[in-house]
Chain A
């Protein structure tokens, strides 16, 4: 783990997180601290364990052995109430096909005690009102992703977790989402997202970690890492780094 020059209040902490599926080890004792008010990127190739780590945080993949995850110093093993603070946007929006968009959103709002402060604003920004009465199964991929963005961002969550934000997003929606993330960061929210697109990380992430075969390979700020490797882009920097390692 690299040392920080300043000490921040830790928002999410992964402690010895290990995950195995039969003989395959997806995560090898991951230790990671994500501080509040940052946009944090989890990079890595397919199968590196990024999504597994995210799903462990969300309680979708049960923790094994001595793995521990703390959210605001509270263990997620002891209580699930931490999920009230987290907004989650899955990679693929697979919502019920036969229900209308407004019914799905109403259902998700009813499940949460919090007020959907940004519901009307995001609906208006993304033009969701024009297809709110359509069944989800009849929507285009772009429209489905808009609904996905809405369900995640309509609340003022302290933590936002996104799995591959650019997946299936057209350039216009991708631009909107990036602005949304910057806006939420200014409010002090913590954002954690997985990606294998370097350009996204360079553009918006404050800190990043690279997972390779279930282990942390790099942990740094993107701009600092690029400077250290004397590269022009993050992609170049990573290539140079791996060449040195090998």
Chain B
């Protein structure tokens, strides 16, 4: 018994040492540093406070059931989270280039720096977003047990959107050096994904509504991360009747396990591809 206890302690010490070794890796050092810097950023604080206030207002005014509360919150979340992630991410990344000179003058790879900054950016945004949402939910979310699951799922999807649009922000910040151009393109990007794309889907739906366009709509939805998140959440809340005639199609395909796996795989692609192409540019660009 004593030998087993000694072995367990030795294993624990080995695991602890390995973990300490990992956290002293430059990626983790940069990640922790970025989070610390971001959470002290006044714009992130303003974002968190504003999100809390508007979220509370939405939950307080007219959301007497969890379903209504989440559905109301969804529109606000899909509007603000991608927009702020894009702009904050791009500006903070491009403004950090002078300090990157000092970091890269040390024995640090561009891989550790890029992905450490990405993780730190996402970390800061997630902390601000989650704190705001959770606090407003604690105060104003309708107190029903089923609601907690729906709210948590919405929070999770909001975090996914942060990962997606932060990846995009870094990708675009690597290609566009002028800040005015960068902000302009960010806004166009958001406008395209949040408004234009849905107008396009609506137009196709109304023009070709008499034809079996569900497969085409499915593909089109997969090509917009905001729409993927919207449809996944609506399916989860079981209010796909809002989607009209296509609800049966989405329930059949996206509601199934395969549909969910495809949706999340597409979301992963929306994170991985911008990160990959952004890093490819970063690796060879002048700092």
Contacts and interface: CB of A to CB of B under 8 A. Distances in A.
Contact of B98 (A59, A84, A88, A94): A94
A108 interface: yes
A25 interface: no
Contact of B107 (A61, A90, A113): A113
A215 B29 CA distance: 40
Interface string A96-111: 1011000100011011
A58 B37 contact: no
Contacts of A95: 99, 102
Contacts of B50: none
B256 interface: no
Contact of B37 (A80, A88, A92, A98): A98
A86 B37 contact: no
Given A55-B286, A60-B101, A98-B40, A110 B29 contact: yes
B102 A88 contact: yes
Given A60-B287, A80-B107, A113-B107, A108 B37 contact: no
Contact of A60 (B26, B40, B106, B286): B286
A59 B99 CA distance: 14
Contacts of A107: 29, 33
B104 A84 contact: no
A174 B109 CA distance: 32
B101 A111 contact: no
Interface residues of B, number: 25
A245 interface: no
Contacts of A178: none
Nearest to A55: B286
Given A96-B37, A99-B37, A90 B102 contact: yes
Given A55-B286, A98-B37, A99-B37, A111 B99 contact: no
B11 interface: no
B284 A62 contact: yes
Nearest to A103: B36
A92 B101 CA distance: 11
A126 B109 CA distance: 31
A194 interface: no
A72 B284 CA distance: 24
B99 A86 contact: no
A130 interface: no
A112 interface: yes
B203 interface: no
Interface string A111-126: 1110000000000000
B103 interface: yes
Nearest to B30: A111
Contact of A90 (B36, B40, B101): B101
Interface string B112-145: 0000000000000000000000000000000000
Given A62-B284, A62-B286, A80-B109, 17 more contacts: A58-B101, A58-B104, A59-B104, A60-B105, A61-B286, A83-B106, A84-B107, A86-B105, A88-B105, A96-B99, A98-B41, A108-B103, A111-B29, A111-B108, A112-B106, A112-B107, A113-B107
Interface of A: 55, 58-62, 80-81, 83-84, 86-88, 90, 92, 94-96, 98-99, 103, 107-108, 110-113, 151, 161
13 contacts: A58-B101, A59-B104, A60-B101, A62-B285, A80-B107, A81-B107, A90-B102, A94-B99, A95-B99, A96-B37, A98-B40, A107-B33, A111-B26
